Every structure is written in structure tokens, then in C-alpha cells.
Amino acid sequence: MSILVVGSVAFDTIATPSGQVKDILGGAATYFALAASYFTEVRVVAVVGEDFTPEHEAVLKNRGVDTRGIERTQGKTFRWGGQYLDNLNDAKTDFTELNVFEKFQPRIPKEYSDTQILFLANIHPTLQAAVRLEMDGVRLTGGDTMNFWIKGTPRELAETLKLVNVLLINDTETKMLAGEKNLPRAARKVLAMGPSALVVKHGEYGATIFFREGAFGIGSHPFRAPALPIEEVKDPTGAGDSFAGGFMGYLASQGEGDISREVLKRALFYGGVMGSFAVERFGTERLQNLTRGEIDARFQVFRELTHLE
């Protein structure tokens, strides 16, 4: 099944203990699309400026990503700068320049109308809701948000969450959204807002999926997947978006049958696989040059980590 991701394409300037890079290709939609492209057909809706060159677009096209939904407009592409010099789990933002992204109004090409899975990356909740309502034929919708929207647009976000089947956010965002310090209680409150499943990302400690009672089968017990120990993390930027791409991409690869809890659990591992590859190089470099064999081999390592004879 095809996936449409709506989000940001950006240029990042990053400093980590492994080095520094300037104006490398990034953005939530970019990381998501590259990760998901190893599992299924991916389409992107985003906006870029005049500094987005054919070489930048080729990074996506070389992975078979459909870029017809990327709008070109006058001005500069969204830029973000940050550093992880003190803590690899916490980015210190140096600057954010929204540029053309500030007035982003997603335009869905008519060729994308048959899309079956939609992922609403981290953009204004009102825009997320508008896209979801326009794409009323999708079978499954995933979504992301962040503390900025949780604090600044709670009503709009509440309306959007009613339209999302699977929400993927981190543990801090989950507790903030629910107004609850205990994660299981927070997850239950978030699920009551609309999603059928909640994927809570724990960074280097893996991810947990919580289910609303009766959704995707019987029962409501959560499931936890670990993170793969990585000897050297060069750049954590985009790890969460790559996780989402692997997770949603695997779901799309399962065809048009019903998505079960077991499929969602397995998708957690593929999300972890793609996130683990992303952090091994700066920017999207590692995601550009993978093989399905490498992905499946790392998935097997994840399985062995969690399998007790």
C-alpha cells in the first residue's frame, strides 16, 4: 500500500561530539520518506525554496520517492540548527528559520487521491486535520506532534487527534498531552482522545505501544520493544522520524488485510531498525544507501535481543 507523508523538508546545521555539518538535507518528511521507501511506495507533500536543488531532490528520487507533491516557492527552505554536545538525547536549538515553511498550505496532487496510508508529520494541527479530511479515503492515519503544539494549540490538536488512528510521540510529550506524570495513566488518557494506538518513543531505550480497549483485536495490554545498542551515535537528528517511517512503512508493506496487534508489534521493531541506522551518519546519509538485506539482518538482531528460549 502507498504512503503519503505531509511535513517538512529542511536544511540542518548540526554539531555533535562526532563533528559538525552545515546545511545538510533534513526535515521530518525527508527522514520519514527515506526510511519508509525500503518497504513501500512513498509520496511527499512539502514546501521548499529556491535553494532546494535537483541534487537535493535526487536524494528522494533515487529511493523511488514520488516528489510531485513538493511545492517550490520563492524564498529559502526551512532551516534548523542545533547541537548535542552536552547530551545526545537532548538537542539544544541554536536557531529556527521557518522561511517558506511559515506559510505552508499543503496541496495534495490529484494523483495522490488513491493513497491508502497517510502520515501527518509534525506541522500545525489545523493543517494536519485539513489534510486528513481531504484524504477521506485512506485506510490508516498516523500522526506526530510536539510540545509546541501541545502547549500552544490544545483545542486544535484535540480535534486532530480524533482523526488519527496511530499517534507516535515521545514519553515527555505523552505526559504533557495528558497532564499526567505516570506513563501508563497518561497513555490511557491520550487514547481516550481518539487514537486507537499510541506509540511512545523512548529514544535510546526503545518504544512502547499502547492500545485502546477493543482496537486492533482483543485486550489492551501494552508491548515494549527495546532499542538496539549502537556503539557510536554520530547524529540523533531525525531518529524519531526515521522510526516513524520504518513503523508505518512496514504496516504498508503488509497489504490490504486487517492490521492486527501482532503486525503493529512487529512494526515497532522495524521502526527501531530504521532509527538505529539513521543515527550512524550525519543527516540522511545512512538512509540513502541501505539494502533490504541489512535491514532484515538488523531486525533479526532485535528479535534475538528479546527472545528467551
Q: In terms of residue numbers, what domain contains 201?
A: 3-306
Question: What's the mean pLDDT in 289-296?
Answer: 95
Q: Could you read off the pLDDT of 118-131 as tens digits, one per residue?
A: 999 999 999 999 99
Confidence of residue 56 (pLDDT cuts 50, 70, 90): very high
Q: What CATH code is carried by the domain that includes residue 286?
A: 3.40.1190.20
Q: Could you read off the pLDDT of 78-114 as tens digits, one per residue?
A: 999 999 998 888 889 999 999 999 999 999 999 999 9
Reference 215, options 164, 177, 253; nearest CA is 164
Task: Identify the pLDDT of residue 8.
Answer: 97
Q: Check residue 197 and give left, alpha or beta (phi > 0: left; psi -120 to 50: alpha).
A: beta
What percent of the chain shows pLDDT beyond 90? 85
Question: What's the mean pLDDT in 227-236?
Answer: 87
Task: Identify the pLDDT of residue 214.
Answer: 74
Is residue 33 within 8 A of residue 8, CB to CB? The reply is no
Task: Identify the pLDDT of residue 308.
Answer: 54
State how far the Cα of 233 lies from the Cα of 290, in Å rounded to an integer.
17
Is residue 228 within 8 A of residue 186, CB to CB? The reply is no
State how far the Cα of 144 lies from the Cα of 250, in Å rounded to an integer.
17
Question: pTM surpassing 0.85?
Answer: yes
Number of domains comprising the chain: 1
Cα-based distances in Å from 247 to 56, 167, 252, 275, 292: 25, 11, 9, 10, 15
Q: Could you read off the pLDDT of 247-289 as tens digits, one per residue?
A: 999 999 998 777 888 999 999 999 999 999 999 999 999 999 9
Across the beta sheet with 10-16, the strand order is: 19-26, 10-16, 79-83, 92-97
Confidence of residue 217 (pLDDT cuts 50, 70, 90): low
What percent of the chain shows pLDDT beyond 70? 98
Q: Could you read off the pLDDT of 265-274 as tens digits, one per residue?
A: 999 999 999 9
